[in-house]
Amino acid sequence: MAARRNAAVVLKAVKKVAVHFCPFEANVRSTREFLVMVGSGKARSTNLNCEVISIVKHDESEPFVDVTYVDGERLLMKGANLTSSEMLNAFQARCTAKDLQAKAAAK
For the whole model, what pTM was predicted? 0.86
**According to CATH, what is the number of the domain 13-106?**
3.40.30.10
pLDDT by 10s per residue, the chain, length 107: 444 445 689 999 999 999 999 999 999 999 999 999 999 999 999 999 999 999 999 998 999 999 999 999 999 999 999 999 999 999 999 999 988 887 787 77
Nearest to 93 by CA among 34, 13, 6: 13
Nearest to 102 by CA among 43, 42, 14, 17: 14
- Residue 23 half-sphere exposure, CB side, CA atoms within 13 Å? 4
d(CA 61, CA 38): 21
The residue ranges of every structural domain in the chain are 13-106
